[in-house]
C-alpha cells in the first residue's frame, strides 16, 4: 500500500522520518520554514560542537609545552573560527538536501499550517496527505525579568555568532547548554560565571559525576553559583550588572554578556494544531507510545512532544512513528537514551542514575573507576575522569552508566548496546577490551562493583 506522507519540519526528527517513509514506498513531502537540518545542524548540536572543538584545540595548544611541543605565541582568529563552524554546517545541511533528493522526497520551503487532518497549507498551496508527521522542533526558552530586552542579553543561538570573544560572561542556566557554552568561552579566555537555580549543575546527570565535573570547572576558573536566582539585569556603562539571589544573599555580577541558557520549549504555535483539535499539555504535543497524537494518522516526534529534547532521540522517534504508520511493529527503547555533554573532558550517560535507582527502591550495586588509573586517559587528559556503573543487585544487569572523561560521548555507545542486549557485569568483564584505550576502563568499573578493579587500589576514593 502506498501512502502520501507529509513531514512538517526538516530537523533530525523530520528529515530522518521522511527518508524512512520513502524507503517504505511512500510519496513523501517535507516542509521546512527555514534551513534543512533544523536547530541541530544550524544553531544547535553541530555549530556548538564545532566551536567546542576549536576551543579544545586552542586550550590544548596553550598547554602543549608540557608535552614538548613549542608552538610560540598562540592566538585565536575568531572570524576564521566562525568560518570553520559555518563550513561544517553548510556541508551537513547540503548533505541532508542531497539525501532527501536521492530518496525522491519533495521539499517545500515555507511555513506549514494544518487545515484539517488531511490537508496542509504552505504559502497558499494545499498539500493533501494520508499521514502527517509533526517534527516542528523547539526554540530557546525565554525568561521574563527586568532587563531581558537589553542588547547584550543573548540566547544560545546568538552566542554562536558573537562579533568577538567577550571579556566576561554570566551564563544563566547550568544544564547541558549552559555548561557547554561556559566551557567554550572559558577556553577562549572569557571570565565565566554560571548561575543555576537548582542545587546542582546538570540536574539530570548522576551527582557523583557532576561533583567531579564542577571541581574541574572551578579549577579552570569558572565560578559556579547553585541555588541561585536571577533577579535583574541593569546597564552600567559598558557593562551589564547582574543581580542574583544566592541562597538568600544578594550578589552583584558585572559582565559584558549575559547568556540565557535555561533550556528549550516546543515550537508548536502558529501551525494550526487548534484547527485539528490535537491535544496539548503545557505547550507540548501529547502522543501515545507510538508517537501518534489523539488524531489518527497524525504523529509528533522530537522536541515538539517534549519527551527528551535530543537530536538522536528525535531521529529514533521519527523512524518509529513512520514504521507504525505503515503498520509495522516499531522497536523503540525509551529507557535506553544516551545523553552527551561536550565539556573538556566530555560527559555521557545512559540509563538510571544512582539517585533515580534509589528513589525507585531498586536494589543496586555501584562501581566507580577513576581514569587516573588508565594509561590512555593519562596521555589525553592528565587522568581526569571516571566511569560509574549502576547494576542490579540480584542479576548484575547493567541499569546505568555514567562517564566523565576523554571520548565519553563515543564510549557511551558500548554502554547503551550493553543495556539493549540486557548484558550483565560478568559479560562486560569477560569481554576483552583493547589496550591502551579509554574503553578498557569499562570492565574495570564493573570489577569495582565488588572492589576488584585491577588498576585501582582497594578502598581508595576516586575523588
Band of residue 65 on the pLDDT scale cut at 50, 70, 90: confident
Position 20 confidence tier, pLDDT thresholds 50, 70, 90? very high
State the span(s) of the chain assigned CATH 3.50.50.60.
4-139+265-325, 153-262
Q: Are 312 and 12 in contact (CB under 8 A)?
A: yes
When the candidates are 3.50.50.60, 3.20.20.100, 3.20.20.140, 3.90.1150.10, the CATH number that belongs to 4-139+265-325 is 3.50.50.60
What's residue 459's pLDDT?
Answer: 77
Mean per-residue pLDDT, 386-400:
98
Residue 254 CB-density burial (10 A; 0-12 exposed, 13-18 middle, 19+ buried): middle
Residue 1's pLDDT band (boundaries 50, 70, 90)? Answer: low
Q: Quick one: pLDDT at residue 428?
A: 98
Read off the pLDDT of residues 319-371 as tens digits, 9 standing for 90 and up. Answer: 999 999 999 999 999 999 999 999 999 999 999 999 999 999 999 999 999 99
* Cα 299 from chain centroid (whole Å): 23
pLDDT digits (tens, 9 = 90+) for 273-292: 999 999 999 999 999 999 99
Whole-model pTM: value is 0.96
How much is the pLDDT for 458? 86
Q: Is residue 148 pLDDT above 70, yes or no?
A: yes
**What number of helices (H) and strands (E) belong to the chain?**
13, 25
Portions of the chain given CATH number 3.30.390.30: 345-448
Of 115, 125, 110, nearest to 10 by C-alpha is 110
| Arithmetic mean of pLDDT, 395-405 | 98
69 CB burial (10 A radius; 0-12, 13-18, 19+): exposed
Q: Given pLDDT bands bounded at 50, 70 and 90, which one contains residue 401?
A: very high
CATH number of this structure's domain 153-262: 3.50.50.60
Q: What percent of the chain lies above the pLDDT cut of 70?
A: 100
Residue 269 has pLDDT above 80, yes or no: yes
104 phi-psi bin (left φ>0, alpha ψ -120 to 50, beta other): left
Mean pLDDT of the chain, nearest integer: 96
| Cross-strand bridge partners of residue 292 | 299
Give residue-wise pLDDT tens across range 432-459: 999 999 999 999 999 999 999 999 998 7
pLDDT score for 324: 98
Q: What is the mean pLDDT of residues 225-233?
A: 97
| CA–CA separation, 26 and 2 (whole Å) | 5
Dihedral (CA of 381, 433, 407, 457) sign: negative
Strand partners, 120: 114, 127
Q: How far apart are CA 325 and CA 112, in angstroms?
A: 21
CA 236 to chain centre: 34
Q: What is the CATH number of domain 345-448?
A: 3.30.390.30
Which active-site residues does the annotation give? Answer: 435
Beta strands in 123-218 (DSSP E): 125-128, 131-134, 138-140, 153-155, 168-172, 191-195
Amino acid at each position: 500500500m502506498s501512502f502520501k506522507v507529509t513531514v512538517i519540519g526538516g530537523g533530525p526528527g523530520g528529515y530522518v522520518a521522511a527518508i524512512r517513509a520513502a524507503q517504505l514506498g511512500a510519496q513523501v513531502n517535507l516542509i521546512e520554514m527555514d534551513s534543512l537540518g533544523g536547530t541541530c545542524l544550524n544553531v544547535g548540536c553541530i555549530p556548538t560542537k564545532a566551536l567546542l572543538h576549536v576551543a579544545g584545540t586552542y586550550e590544548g595548544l596553550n598547554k602543549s609545552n608540557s608535552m614538548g611541543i613549542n608552538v610560540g605565541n598562540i592566538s585565536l582568529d575568531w572570524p576564521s573560527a566562525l568560518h570553520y563552524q559555518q563550513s561544517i554546517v553548510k556541508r551537513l545541511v547540503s548533505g541532508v538536501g542531497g539525501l532527501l533528493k536521492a530518496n525522491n522526497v519533495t521539499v517545500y520551503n515555507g511555513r506549514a499550517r494544518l487545515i484539517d487532518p488531511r490537508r496542509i497549507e504552505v504559502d497558499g498551496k494545499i498539500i493533501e496527505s494520508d499521514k502527517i508527521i509533526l517534527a516542528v522542533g523547539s526554540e530557546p526558552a525565554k525568561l521574563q525579568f527586568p532587563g531581558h530586552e537589553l542588547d547584550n542579553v543573548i540566547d544560545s543561538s546568538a552566542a554562536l555568532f558573537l562579533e568577538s570573544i567577550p571579556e566576561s560572561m554570566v551564563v544563566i542556566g547550568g544544564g547541558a547548554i549552559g555548561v557547554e557554552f561556559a566551557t567554550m568561552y572559558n577556553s577562549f579566555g572569557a571570565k565565566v560565571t554560571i548561575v543555576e537555580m537548582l542545587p546542582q549543575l546538570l540536574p539530570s546527570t548522576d551527582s557523583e559525576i557532576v561533583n567531579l565535573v564542577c571541581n574541574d570547572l572551578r579549577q579552570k576558573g569558572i565560578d559556579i553559583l547553585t541555588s541561585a536566582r536571577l533577579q535583574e539585569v541593569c546597564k552600567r556603562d559598558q557593562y551589564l550588572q547582574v543581580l542574583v539571589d544566592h541562597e538568600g544573599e544578594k550578589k552583584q555580577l558585572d559582565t559584558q554578556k549575559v547568556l540565557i541558557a535555561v533550556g528549550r520549549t516546543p515550537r508548536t504555535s502558529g501551525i494550526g494544531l487548534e484547527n485539528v483539535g490535537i491535544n496539548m499539555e503545557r505547550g507540548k504535543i501529547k502522543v501515545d507510545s507510538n508517537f501518534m497524537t489523539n488524531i489518527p494518522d497524525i504523529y509528533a516526534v522530537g522536541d515538539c512532544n517534549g519527551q527528551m529534547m535530543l537530536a538522536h532521540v528525535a531521529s529514533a522517534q521519527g523512524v518509529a512513528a513512520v514504521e507504525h504508520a505503515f503498520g509495522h511493529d516499531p522497536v523503540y527503547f525509551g529507557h535506553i537514551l544516551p545523553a552527551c555533554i561536550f565539556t573538556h573532558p566530555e560527559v555521557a550517560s545512559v540509563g538510571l542514575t544512582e539517585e533515580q535507582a534509589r528513589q525507585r527502591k531498586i536494589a543496586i550495586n555501584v562501581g566507580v573507576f577513576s581514569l587516573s588509573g588508565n594509561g590512555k586517559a593519562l596521555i589525553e587528559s592528565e587522568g581526569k575522569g571516571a566511569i560509574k556503573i549502576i547494576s542490579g543487585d540480584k542479576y548484575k544487569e547493567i541499569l546505568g552508566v555514567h562517564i566523565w572523561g576523554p571520548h565519553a560521548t563515543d564510549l557511551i555507545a558500548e554502554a547503551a548496546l550493553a543495556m539493549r542486549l540486557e548484558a550483565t557485569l560478568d559479560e562486560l568483564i569477560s569481554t576483552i577490551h583493547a589496550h591502551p584505550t579509554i574503553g578498557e576502563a569499562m570492565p574495570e568499573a564493573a570489577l569495582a562493583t565488588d572492589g576488584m578493579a585491577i588498576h585501582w587500589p582497594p578502598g581508595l576514593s576516586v575523588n
